[in-house]
Amino acid sequence: MDELTEAFRALGDPTRLRILRLVCEARLNVSEVVSLIGVAQSSVSHHLTKLKALDLIREERQGGFTYYSLAIDEKAPLWPLIKLARGADDEHGDKARLTELLHRREDVHTLNEKLLEPGQSWRLWSAALSSLLPPLDVVDFGCGTGVLTVELARWARHVTAIDRSGSALSKAKAEAARQGLHNITFLEADLHALPLPDARVDLVVVSQSLHHVDSIEHVLAEGARLLKPGGKMVVLELLPHEEEWVLTRLGHQHLGFDPQVVREAMLAVGLEAHEVFPAPRDAASPFKAFLLTGTRKATAHRQPRRAHVQERARP
């Protein structure tokens, strides 16, 4: 009874009720809730703390942001309150703004994959893959909506496509099905620590993914761990740039990399790093790319300590 009383008291605040209704529909960060509700960030944070204290919502960190989502289901005693909140009149137009926000998120996925001109990306991948003969077992790190995954699957024996975004993976899976590709496994997981066995794959591709992660050393170590002795890794990344808007709009953690920094990180985890391929210069774009290949040595490699993460596979 005390739990129910506290819940009714907490949800007696109209703004708190609006916030709860929104996070029932989608995972949202504080800035997004502020933009939808139109109140100060300090007030939104206070309301989220109250809802979290009742175990109605959960928080998760991803890409430098903390996201909030509904923490209970229809079996929970407080579920009738959730149903009432979702069914209440939307007099402030919150749902319409949420729909617009989710559409903008989809645009971000598309923009993120188009940061590099297609000619740059495909010329670089052609240079890296032309010497590789199928069939190979491949892992695609940070596959996004699967633009590269489906191309890999055309010649690979099998592709494991990994991303932290469930919505991006759903789009990748739909595209693979549309193209009739059945040799892909989709895995929602953190690239810093993967639920995959050692030394089972021939090729790891890391295309425009390192600038999204906290530790490139941990991610490269995971890639090296998955490779068979003699297996190859191919990294396509952005050179250093000054486009700071990508940090907030696209969730980047790094403004590109010096290729030597990535090369040294590959060497540190037991890869023999090979030639750096620079992208063709294009004065019209602020983003330039480089491609770096490496081969796993036959001897054991040193690997940074892996962080504990939760993950789940998608068939």
For 123-174, how does the pLDDT look when each residue is reduced to its tens digit (9 = 90+)?
566 556 545 566 899 999 999 999 889 888 888 899 999 999 999 999 999 9
The architecture that CATH gives domain 114-314 is 3-Layer(aba) Sandwich (3.40)
The architecture that CATH gives domain 2-108 is Orthogonal Bundle (1.10)
In angstroms, what CA-CA distances link 221 with 214, 217, 263, 304? Answer: 13, 6, 12, 7
For 244-253, what is the mean pLDDT?
Answer: 87
Residue 80 burial by Cβ neighbours in a 10 Å radius (0-12, 13-18, 19+): exposed
Pairing of strands 184-188, 271-278: unpaired
User: In what side-by-side order are the strands of the sheet with 289-296?
Assistant: 271-278, 289-296, 227-238, 201-207, 137-141, 158-163, 184-188, 312-314
- Where are any strands of DSSP class E within 174-303? 184-188, 201-207, 227-238, 271-278, 289-296
Nearest to 159 by CA among 175, 129, 136: 136
Say if residue 69's pLDDT is above 70. Answer: yes
pTM for this model (two decimals): 0.60
Residue 166 structure tokens: 């469930």
Give me the pLDDT at residue 130, please: 47
Q: Average the pLDDT over each of 11-15, 117-121, 209-213, 267-271 and give the range with the smallest value.
A: 117-121
Residue 245 structure tokens: 């808007």
For residue 104, which amino acid is it?
R
Q: What is the pLDDT of residues 270-309, one digit of tens each?
A: 999 887 877 765 555 788 899 999 999 876 444 444 444 3
Q: Name the segment(s) of the chain with CATH classification 3.40.50.150.
A: 114-314
Q: Name the segment(s) of the chain with CATH classification 1.10.10.10.
A: 2-108
Give me the pLDDT at residue 85, please: 77
For 59-77, what is the mean pLDDT?
Answer: 82
Give me the pLDDT at residue 310, please: 40
Residues facing 62 on adjacent strands:
65
* Exposure string over 221-238, b if 16+ CB within 10 A, otherwise e: bbbbbbbeeebbbbbbbb
Confidence of residue 200 (pLDDT cuts 50, 70, 90): very high
Residue 120 burial by Cβ neighbours in a 10 Å radius (0-12, 13-18, 19+): buried
Residue 122 structure tokens: 């495909």
Say if residue 233's pLDDT is above 80. Answer: yes
